[in-house]
Structure 1
Amino acid sequence: TNREEPLYLMIKELHLLDSLWSLILPTAFAAFNFIVMRSFFMALPQELLEAARIDGASDFRILWQIVMPLSKAVIAVIGLFYAVAYWNAFFNAMLYINDQELWPIQLILRSYVIQGTSMTADQLGVQQTAAPQSIKMAVVVVALVPILLVYPFLQKYFSKGVITGAVKG
C-alpha cells in the first residue's frame, strides 16, 4: 500500500540501515531525469556525430569532445534537480538512519524547527544561546543559502536545458 514499505525492506535486506548509502542509492537514478536526458541526446544532430566518425573519432572521443560540451545545459539542469532533491531530503533519513551522528543537516534542522528540539550551544558553535525565535530563523536561512548560492550559476542553463530536454509529442 505505502510506496516506502518495499523500499525500506530492500534497504534493510541490503544492510544499508544506518548508512549514508541508504540515502544516496534509492534516488540516484530517477526515471524522469533519464527521460529528459535521453530526449536531449536523441535531439542531437546525427550528422554531427557521423561527421566525427568519418574524421576518425572514436565513440569515447565523440562523447567527450562533441556530446558533452553540447550537453552542458541539460547536465546543469539535472544536477540542479538532484542537488535540490538531496538538499531538501529529510524523510528518507528519518526512515533509514537511527544514529543521530549520521543525520543530514536537514533532519537536524527539521527536528529543531518543527519539533522544537533544543540545540545545545556546542551544536550551534556559540558560547551563549540566542533567543529561540532568532535561532529558528537562522536555521531557515542556513537551509536556504546553499541552493541560493548555486542557482545563479546554473540559471542561464536552466530554461534552455528544461526546454531542450523536454519530451516532445
Structure 2
Amino acid sequence: MKKSMLDSPHRPYVNINSNTFTTRKSLSDRTFYGLIYLMTIVAIIVTLYPFLYVLSISFSSVEAIDQQKVILFPVGFTLSGYKMVLQYQELWVSFYNTLWYTVVGTVLNILFTCLAAFPLSRPRFFLRRKLNFFIAFTMYFSGGLIPVYMLITSLGLYNTRWAMVLPVLVITFNVMICRSAFEGIPNEIFESANIDGANDITMLFKLAIPIIKPTLAVLTLYYAVYHWNNFFSALLYLGKQDLQPLQMFLRRVLIMASPEVMQKMGGSMSTSALAVSTLQVRYVSIVVSILPIVTIYPFIQRYFVKGITLGAVKG
C-alpha cells in the first residue's frame, strides 16, 4: 500500500490543485455574473423609469404636477387628463388612420416579403445571385429624398393613403431575414412536394410559410412598429389633416405645442391651469399612442429568439 502511494506521488497533489482551481473558477464566475446582473438591473431602471414617470404624470392631478410632487408613482390619482385627450375628435381620426396604415401595410409587407424572399432562396432560380446583389445594393445606396418625392407625386399618390404603404412595400433587411429562413428549410421537403405535383405557389403557401411562422411573427412586429411610428412619410406626402396618422397628432402636441390643440382640449381652463395641464396632455398623448403596440408585444414575444435563430441557422 505504501509502495503504491510512493509510485504515484503526484496524484494527491493534482487533486488538491484541481479542487483549488475549481473553487477559484466558481468564485470568479459568481463575481462575473454578479456584475452582469448588476449592470442589467441598472439598465432596466434607466430605461424603465422614464416610462413610469410619463405614466405617473398622466394619472396625477394638476396640483401635484404643478408642485413637482410626482417622482415615481402617481400623486392625486385622476383620469382628467385622459378625459381631456380622449374627447378630442382629431385624436380618433388620427388613431383610425394609423390603424389602417398599420394593418393594411403590415399585411401587404408580409405578403410581398415572402413573394420576394422565396424565389431568392431557391438554388434553381437562375436570377438568384443577380437579384440578391441588387437587393443588397439598395441597403447601402438609395436614390435620395427628392427623386422619391417626385416619383410619389408623379404616380398620383400624394395626399392618398397608399403613399404610406406602397413606398415601403418591402424592407430589404427583412427580405434577407425571410430568405435565410426559407433557406433553412431542408430541400428534401420541396423535392417531395414537387414529385407529388405541387407547384411553387403551393410550396410557398402550404409548406414554406407554415414552417417559418416564428420568423414571420417577428417580421410582422417589425413592420407593424414601423407603420405605427411612421410620421416622416406623412409629413412629406400627406397634406390633408384628415389622412394624417396618430404620430403627426402627437408631433403637434409634443414638439409644436399647438396652442389651438391645447385650447380645444383645455376648454375654459385658466391660463395657469392650462399651462400645467399642457405637460399632462403631452404625457397622456404619449401613453395613448404607445399603448396598443405595447399590449400586442407580449403575445408574440415568445417568437423572437426562435424567429431570429431560425433565419440564421443553416440545417
TMscore range, shorter length: 0.7 to 0.9
1:3 CA displacement = 2.4
TM, length-normalised to structure 2: 0.48
Cα 1:25–1:60 change in 2 (3 A) is closer
**2:217 corresponds to which residue?**
76
Partner AA of 2:279 in structure 1:
Q
Indicate how the Cα distance of structure 1 residues 30 and 106 shifts in structure 2: closer, same or farther if over 3 A, else same.
same
Does structure 2 conserve the Cα–Cα contact (< 8 Å) formed by 1:49 and 1:62?
yes
Identical residues among aligned pairs (%) = 37
The CA RMSD measured in Å over matched residues stands at 2.6
Change (3 A) 1:152 1:19: same
Relative to the length of structure 1, the TM-score reads 0.85
Query: What's the counterpart of residue 111 of structure 1?
Result: 252
Structure having the higher Rg: 2
Correspondence 1:144 to 2:290: yes
Structure 1 equivalent of residue 130 of structure 2: none
Supply the distance in 1 between the matched residues of 2:224 and 2:211 (Cα, whole angstroms): 21
1:38 aligns to what?
A: 179
Counterpart CA distance in 1 for 2:228 and 2:203 is 33
Question: Match for residue 146 of structure 2?
Answer: 5
Cα distance in 1, alignment partners of residues 229 and 313 from structure 2: 26
1:82-93 counterparts in 2 under 5 A? Answer: 82-93=223-234
Unaligned runs of 5+ in 1: none
- CA–CA distance in structure 2, aligned partners of residues 138 and 27 of structure 1: 30
User: How far apart, in 1, do the equivalents of 2:199 and 2:304 lie?
Assistant: 30
8 Å contact from structure 2 (residues 178, 215) kept in 1: yes
The equivalent of 2:165 in structure 1 is 24
Which consecutive unaligned segments of at least 5 residues does structure 2 have?
1-141
How many equivalent pairs are there?
166
Which one has the bigger helix percentage?
2
Distance 1:26 1:167 in 2: 31
Q: Which has the higher contact order (CA 8 A, sep 6+)?
A: 1
Q: Is the 8 A contact 1:76 1:157 kept in 2?
A: yes
